[in-house]
Chain A
Amino acid sequence: MEDRLRRHVENLFEGTAPTRNTVDFKDELLQNLREKYADLIREGKSEDEAYHIVIAGIGDVTGLIRSLEDKEMNNINTETLEKQQQKSALLTAGAVMLYIISIVPGVILDAVGISVIPGVIFMFIAIATATGMLIYNTMTKPKYVRADDSMVEEFREWQNGRWEKSLRHR
């Protein structure tokens, strides 16, 4: 029965971007509905009755969810995104530059006729650095939306899992 309540709330949030505000609201709503449901059961209502009373009491939350989503979008569209794009462009340009420069010392040293070894070593270091920059760039970009909250959200996911398990044991 608790699952039914969760499923209903999940449906309300279907197609919603899982941003901090929307996830927080979903957790908050579900938690409060659960308490209401538990109280109704305690008052002697049947599971079906309690479920329908709780569902009927929610009202239309689509507007609220939409506004939470929009707020999140606006936050992202400010300076942070611009800075992020600038950083990303710099990293990519720098990496490409390193790839091109990497062979230059080797070519020069070879032309002059001294040992090629330092040139080769420089080339590998330059290539490794450039590759590292590119990987760093791609890894930091998609993560950044929930970066500051990832720990909290992971903890919450873990907590929910534990809670459900304890329910099943009952």
Chain B
Amino acid sequence: MSIASDLIRGHTDTIILALLIQGDSYGYEINKAIQHKTNGQYELKEATLYTAFRRLEQSGCISSYWGDESTGARRRYYHITDQGLKTYESLVKDWEVAKTLIDKLIKKEEDPHGR
């Protein structure tokens, strides 16, 4: 993990919400999905992941429940709420705006003379 991970960390909430839209999930499964989607280039620290879960739960974006696995210990699952869906939509919008702005600000000016 490099400097890019610092940039991504700011969007942990959005990433988690996006994955929960696909269905209820638990900590390790979410981290596995992140790893898989990024071809192993990115993975969250447990500390970051669970801090985000607690934050999202407190703001009513997700709810949690204990699974009833018959073998081994139980997993704690997370579920996205209506509030969470709304938050996700606005976070994505925020990101789109920021992305466009940052692109404009940091990309080299295209030379109109095509040198």
- Could you tell me which A residues sit within 8 Å of B by CB distance? 24-25, 27-36, 39, 57-61, 63-64, 67-68, 159-160, 163
Contacts and interface: CB of A to CB of B under 8 A. Distances in A.
A32 B32 CA distance: 11
A28 B53 CA distance: 12
- Interface of chain B, helix or strand or loop or mixed? helix
B46 interface: yes
A30 B47 contact: no
Contacts of B73: 27, 30-31, 34, 159-160, 163
Interface centre among A28, A33, A36 (most CB of B within 10 A): A28
B47 A59 contact: yes
Interface residues of B, number: 18
Interface of B: 26-28, 31-32, 43, 45-48, 50-51, 54, 72-76
B58 to A, nearest CB: 9
Nearest to B30: A32
A68 B45 CA distance: 18
